[in-house]
Structure 1
Amino acid sequence: MVKLEPGFAEVQGRRPGNQGDAGATGLADKPRLLVIERDGQPAFLTRTHLGEDYEIVTVRSVGRALAMLREKTFEGVYVDTGQLAAVHRAGVLIQADEVLEAISDGVAVVDPDLAVTWANPEFLALADPSVTTVGSKFYRALGNPEVIGSETCPFTNAVASRLPSSTVLRIGANRYLRVTVTPVFEHGGNLSQLIALTRDITDETQQQLKVNAIHKAGDELADLTPEELSEMGVEERTDLLKYNITRHMKDLLGLDFIEIRLLDRPTGRLIPLLTEGMTFVAANRELYARKENNGVTGYVAATGQSYLCRDTAQDPLYLEGAAGARSSLTVPLTYHGTVIGTLNVENAHAYAFDERDRQFLEIYARNVASALNTLELLQAEKFSAATASVEAISRELALPLDDILSDATTVLDRYAGHDDDIIARLRHLLIRAREIRSLIQKVGSTIAPEPKRSTPRPAPRLAGTRLLVVDADEAIRRSAHHLLGGEGATVETARDAHEAIALARQTPYSAALVDIRLPDLDGYATFCKLREVQPGVPIILMTGFGWDSSHSIVKARQEGLQTVLYKPFRADRLMEAVEQALRPTGDAASAASATSTIATAQVSNADQEGQDAESRATTEVQAHGS
């Protein structure tokens, strides 16, 4: 206790001369007195009045006085009356000491040399048991931990900035502390002590490290170099993806029973991709993205929500996956908000999964969905790029190849000699010219095979047909290749009637599209010649809205013409005309009746009005096109 008088503070406690408990053997040692000399003034009074009766221990700060009181036994504390503020501060510190003893975080008071002068029980529990905490350097007391936070030394940073500084320490094999250091300065600006607040963040740190590891593993799923992609086929890439998923599940999450199914959106079927540890029945079970009668997996795929089955024996949705499984966790594979499949894991123990496992698995599932989509896009992009290149090459080669075919066929048609070798070479030239188109397509499919589809791609509308287009306008011939060839037809073109007739003598066609204004023959004459060469071939006459001086369409209709195509034509009108011409004769007649009536009326008007109809027809075309 301390009693304060006007001149100085008098010590109360065991009075000098009260040596009763020293025994009969003699006088006891002088009692120890702690004197606080913050300003150095009481030293003379201390020696004069107290030094004869007490062992004097002098300190220059209240903080150090409190530390000495914890370390040694004193009979009292001497404080000059001019130090009342310091005494009040001491009381506050004592109260704070009691508070720090009770809080759950570890607290250590550290002197400027980083030696621990005081620590609460929580800090002592974190400290190295083989080291005496009080009196040891801070880091030594914690067993020389590893600094893994951004601040390499919070003590140095706190003193330099005069503000609190934090970092993360790893102590032992797998324990993490967040340390926040706050500096305490005296009135003169000198560093008095530092308060180190330590909090055990092992649980949240391990969770974050696991999340980081899952993200890193997810990034590796589809991390293939261009060289690897060029060397690996689709099956090999899929196998690598499955291998990585299985490895990550076991290493990071400790899971042995895994099932991944991909959703076939047109049918709603969930197709197995990976069935590690599942029974044969479960691996081959037909499941659909439906809330009922398709187990937990079907429910998750239908709702897009994760499902935690804590006890399979008590859950009506659960269908057996792994033999003897007692709990399961199923999450959707979602990409850009769309469910593309499911990821299911199972465990032999009930209540094996919790909300944290759900979080981990959902994070990994997003990575799996992204990897699946990336690999599919890589294949699709490669296929699309190859397709675009093939189409560009085909467009550029289409007319030159047609010229070769037309010229070679014309020579062959008019050749009057009997040299069998020349004839054979011409025929071989025709065959090879036609092979070039198919070879271009074949090379494109070899470079990038079309991605696998859950349902077969519909056959092109004109697949298997060979069409002859006869028109002096190069733009029309090029458009025919693009529009009709894009629907699966093999298109060959001729610049005039004689080339068309020569081609028809050598090659059968599914149908022929013939302009009525050719450089050498009119439409009707060409129609008749082609019918002579190939009697059954359907012929479509093409014309602009205008004067038909030869009346080709009227006369051709009298000879059985069924279809007329008016230029400039749209893609849908072109397809309708070709499909109508390709129908069997009976169907074509009934399907074409309305079109024929309109066409006849238009042709009659053109015949009657003569040349003046051309201007009106042009206006009609513009309105029709708009």
Structure 2
Amino acid sequence: MIVPEQVEVLVFGVEPSTLSPVIDGLKGHCRLTAADSLGDALERLKGESPPGFCLVGNHEGGTGLILEATGLLDRFPEAVVLLNDREEILWANTLASQVLNFSSHNGKRARLFDVWEDAEIVGQNFCPVNTVLVTGCQAKTRVRVNDKTFYDVTVSPVTSRVTDGQQLLLATLRDNSEEILQQQKLNAIYKAGLDLGDLQPEEVLELSTHDRIELLKSKLRYYTQELLEFETVEVRIIDQASNTLRPLLALGMDPTAEQRTLKVSAEGNGVTGFVAATGRSYLCENTTTDPLYLVGATGARSSLTVPLIRHDQVLGTFNVESFRPGAFSQTDLQFLELFCREVAVALNTLDLLMAEKATTVEESTKRVLCEVADPVDDILNDTSWIYEKYGEQDPQVRERLKRVLQHTQDIRELIRQAGSSIYTESGAAILKKPSHPNLAGKRVLVMDKERDIRHSAHEILERFDVVVETARDGEQALRMARTFHYDAVICDIKPPDMGGSELYRRLRETHEHTPVILMTGFGYDGEHTLVRARQLGLKSVLYKPFILNQLLKALEDAVCPAM
């Protein structure tokens, strides 16, 4: 006679005093197996020959068994691991088994971080299990598996204790890679922004404007490829004078597209022109169907273009392209916008350095011209005196004196040209230099006995590219007027060696068509010079010290009477 095998019943968490009648009644019909702990019960349930029934008396333990037995924990969106106080894995749901590459169903026990071989604790808590055992409170830490995979590990105590006194722990492993990588990228973009505009003092002194731009381009190239990981890039800067977008940097772009002339316009100038005109970012999901897109990189199927904005002003555009349709997400857009803010700051810093250098050059040139003004004027005055007195006696002397006069005048012009050249090279195009095109290149003679007035004439008028020469008295002024050509003459009404009206008359006799402007201080004109000069054709009177607008207007009226 074959005796049928008895059904195995797993008994867990049953107090003898409460369910002893039930257990006694089952003994004759079933094979009872007792589990001493939740971990032991789980191992038996997951074994090769699990019991047919489970008798649960302990509420907390029963809940855990029900969750496991019905597979609810396998559907949990995070990896869940049950540990003992030795950090050994008693059970793991399916996601945890995949993360750890470990199965808790084979009956083997292993420590969590022994199984997780590639894991490196990078959080502040290096022993979360020990922290829970000591404090009885939840503990958290962070684990790095590789450069792009991170998990947040949370270890919590299980309220019930097993019979042998061991504590059970529940660990959840949450994949936090995306959030951490985004934060890392934000930090990297911030550091990149600091580096883009970072120039050491020696670099400011030693590098030319061109060298600084090349340094910025090399940094942009590095961070675009290494940090943002973009395939093709084009950066353009707005030329305010022509309202065009000139290329600053291009990587992987078609040469024809790189050399294409683009204007700041929302129509007819592609996505780049649209972004520059509107100041809004533009995400092109499919280049083959987008009406704004102009071919940049050959074969590109999607693009992302962001404006470079500083102080609400669009400085340029940053365009990236991919050979895959829909390659860029809103996250890519946000990261690129953040990066472009830093690029705009770096460009603004370059502009400020250019402006500072250009201003320094201009001020230095002005100072040099002012310092040489008196010596050069003295040489011209003395040489013109010698020229008039002895030039007719010897043709060779006359020729040599002409050369001295010409070379002396060239001194100022060479200083001005050198300053203008350096000014242009240093980025003067970004500055709005004051100009009076009607006065540029005009030659003006200023006669006044006061050195400050003569210096003031040099300082003010040479800013507008006017060639200024001065005389101390009337005779010097007349001699200079006879020797050189001037577009206008400005004289004080009280020369130290003759009357003001006499000087005016003799100047008009020397060059009938040369405009003569008289100037006076705020005092009484006892000789009535102005009245007499007006009778001789005087049209303009200036007051000293010079008033800028009045001086410029009087000169413009004199040299361009028809305007």
Question: Shorter-chain TM-score category?
Answer: 0.7 to 0.9
Shift of 1:541: 0.8
What secondary structure is seen at the aligned counterpart in 2 of 1:312? coil
Which residue number in structure 2 is paired with residue 127 of structure 1?
Answer: 100
Q: Does the 8 A contact of 2:43 with 2:107 survive in 1?
A: no
**Secondary structure of the equivalent of 2:150?**
strand
Partner of 1:181: 155
Pick the aligned partner of 1:264 from 239, 247, 251: 239
Name the structure 2 match of 1:508.
485
SS of the equivalent of 2:20 reads: strand
**Which SS does the other structure have where 2:464 is aligned?**
coil
User: 2:119 matched to which residue of 1?
Assistant: 145
For 1:578, which of 551, 555, 558 is the aligned residue?
555
The answer for the alignment partner of 1:375 in structure 2 is 350
What TM-score comes out, normalization by structure 2 length? 0.80
Q: Give the superposition deviation at 1:202.
A: 2.2
CA contact 2:85–2:129 (8 Å) conserved in 1: no
3-state DSSP of counterpart to 1:10? helix
- Matched letter for residue 144 of structure 2: R
CA distance in 2 between partners of 1:527 and 1:161 (Å): 104
CA–CA distance in structure 2, aligned partners of residues 183 and 402 of structure 1: 96
**1:487-526 → structure 2 map (5 Å cutoff):** 487-526=464-503
Aligned counterpart, 1:484: 461
Stretch of structure 1 that moved more, 363-372 or 479-488 = 363-372
- Is the aligned partner of 1:66 residue 2:38? yes
Relative distance call for 1:304 and 1:162 in structure 2 (3 A) is: farther
Displacement, 1:387?
Answer: 1.7
Within-5 A mapping of 1:206-605: 206-221=181-196, 223-228=198-203, 232-399=207-374, 401-403=376-378, 405-406=380-381, 409-410=384-385, 433-445=408-420, 449-451=425-427, 453=429, 460-584=437-561, 587=562
Aligned residue pairs: how many? Answer: 539
Identify which range, 342-351 or 272-281, moves more after superposition. Answer: 272-281
- Give the CA deviation at 1:447: 5.2
Shift of 1:573: 0.8
Higher relative contact order (CA 8 A, sep 6+): 2
437 and 356 in structure 1: CA distance in 2 versus 1, 3 angstrom threshold? same
Matches of 1:133 and 1:429, distance apart in 2: 108
Change (3 A) 1:446 1:183: farther
Q: Please say which of residues 536-545 and 109-118 is displaced more in the overlay.
A: 109-118
Structure 2 residue aligned with 1:168? 142
User: Per the alignment, in what secondary structure is the counterpart of residue 314 of structure 2?
Assistant: strand
Q: How does 1:48-63 map to 2 (within 5 A)?
A: none
After superposing the two structures, state which structure 1 stretch, 415-424 or 204-213, moved more. 415-424
Secondary structure in 2 aligned to 1:360?
helix
Asked if 1 retains the 8 angstrom alpha-carbon contact of 2:208 and 2:426, the reply is no
RMSD of equivalent CA atoms: 4.1
How far off its partner does 1:522 sit? 1.8
Code of the aligned partner of 2:80: V
Matched residues in 2 for 1:157 and 1:467: separation?
Answer: 89
Please report the TM-score for the alignment, with normalisation by the length of structure 1.
Answer: 0.73
Q: Report Cα offsets for 1:296-342 as digits up to 9, x if no partner.
A: 22222222112222222222222333333332222222223221222
Which residue pairs with 2:4 in the alignment?
A: none
- Distance (whole Å) between structure 2 residues aligned to residue 158 and residue 396 of structure 1: 81
- Structure 1 residue 410: Cα displacement: 5.0
What is the one-letter code of the residue matched to 1:109?
L
Q: For structure 2, which runs of at least 5 residues remain unmatched after alignment?
A: 1-10
What amino acid does structure 2 have at the position aligned with 1:328? S
Q: Secondary structure at the match of 2:77?
A: coil
CA shift in 2, pair 1:147/1:389, >3 Å: farther
| C-alpha contact 2:254 2:298 (8 A) present in aligned 1 | yes
Task: Tell me if the contact between 2:302 and 2:323 (Cα under 8 Å) persists in the aligned partners.
Answer: yes
Matches within 5 A, 1:44-123: 65-72=37-44, 87-91=58-62, 94=65, 100-123=73-96
User: How far apart in 2 are the matches of 1:533 and 1:434?
Assistant: 21
**Structure 1 pair 408–156 and aligned structure 2 pair: CA distance change class (3 A):** farther
Letter in 2 for 1:497: G
Q: Describe the shift of the 1:570–1:446 C-alpha distance in structure 2 as closer, same or farther (beyond 3 A).
A: closer
Paired residue secondary structure (2:288):
helix
Question: What is the aligned partner in structure 1 of residue 8 from structure 2?
Answer: none
Q: Secondary structure at the match of 2:316?
A: strand
Shift of 1:486: 1.5
In 1, Cα distance between equivalents of 2:134 and 2:437: 77
Q: Give how far 1:542 is off.
A: 1.0
* CA gap 1:442/1:168 in 2 versus in 1, 3 angstroms: farther
Any conservation in 1 of the 2:391–2:397 contact (CA below 8 Å)?
no
- CA displacement at 1:191 relative to structure 2: 9.2
Question: Displacement of 1:227 after TM fit?
Answer: 4.3
User: 1:158 deviation in Å?
Assistant: 5.6
CA distance in 2, matches of 1:429, 1:156: 95
Q: Please report how far the alpha carbon of residue 162 of structure 1 lies from its aligned counterpart in structure 2 after TM superposition.
A: 5.9
Contact 1:383 1:450 in 2 (8 A): yes
What residue identity is the alignment partner of 1:543?
T
CA distance 1:155–1:495, change in 2 (3 Å): farther
Q: Quote the offset at 1:293 in angstroms.
A: 2.7
Counterpart AA for 2:246: I
Report the Cα distance in structure 2 between the residues aligned to 1:160 and 1:397, rounded to whole angstroms. 85
Q: Displacement of 1:290 after TM fit?
A: 2.3
Cα distance, 1:384 vs. partner? 1.6
Contact conserved, 1:124 with 1:133, CA < 8 A, in 2?
A: no
In structure 1, runs of 5+ residues without a counterpart are: 22-30, 36-64, 592-626
Identity, in percent, stands at 37
- Asked if structure 2 preserves the Cα contact closer than 8 Å seen for 1:11 and 1:77, the reply is no
Q: Report how far residue 511 of structure 1 moved.
A: 1.2
- Cα shift at 1:203: 2.6
